[in-house]
């Protein structure tokens, strides 16, 4: 499964997978406990595929940041999101050396690390860029 269907919902812990859209919002399943919830249109919902991290030169898509963490950890889990602010910043600097320290806060780094570990734990670690598959005639 790609990050196209993975959601972050403000005020709700963890990540969710989009199951279906409803008249008044959407139905999502928690990656933490597998429970399904209905999310109304008034909730702030973000697709992970639409999130990017600021660097000094550009915005790097979250999937690319996850891929860099995966390469650094050789497919394993990253450090804990409960690590100190300094440890998180040092770790993130090793993953993405040119991230914009003025616009990427420790809380953002904490979220990225926490999300990566949750996706790793649930086996959703294919962050490679999906190539367009066109059939040859």
- pTM for the full predicted model: 0.85
Which fold does the domain 3-47 belong to in CATH? SH3 type barrels. (2.30.30)
82-134 pLDDT tens trace? 989 999 999 999 999 999 999 999 999 999 999 999 999 988 878 765 444 33
Angle at CA of residue 80, ends 58 and 100, nearest 5°: 20
- Give the residue ranges of DSSP H helices in the chain: 62-72, 85-95, 106-121
Sequence length of the chain is: 137
* Among 118, 105, 109, CA closest to 14: 118
| Residue 19 near residue 34, CB atoms below 8 Å | no
| Domain layout of the chain by residue ranges | 3-47, 51-121
Answer whether CATH 1.10.10.1650 is correct for domain 51-121: yes
């Amino acid at each position: 499964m790609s990050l196209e269907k993975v959601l972050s919902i403000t005020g709700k812990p963890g990540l969710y997978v989009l199951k279906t859209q409803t008249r008044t919002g959407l139905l999502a399943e928690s990656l933490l406990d597998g429970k399904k919830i209905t999310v109304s249109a008034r909730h702030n919902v973000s697709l992970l595929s639409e999130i990017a991290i600021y660097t000094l030169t550009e915005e790097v898509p979250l999937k690319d940041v996850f891929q860099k963490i995966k390469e650094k950890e050789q497919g394993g889990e990253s450090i804990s999101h409960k690590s100190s602010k300094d440890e998180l910043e040092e770790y993130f600097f090793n993953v993405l050396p040119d991230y914009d320290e003025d616009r990427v806060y420790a809380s953002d780094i904490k979220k990225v690390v926490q999300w990566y570990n949750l996706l790793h734990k649930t086996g959703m670690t294919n962050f490679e860029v999906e190539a367009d598959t066109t059939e040859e005639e």
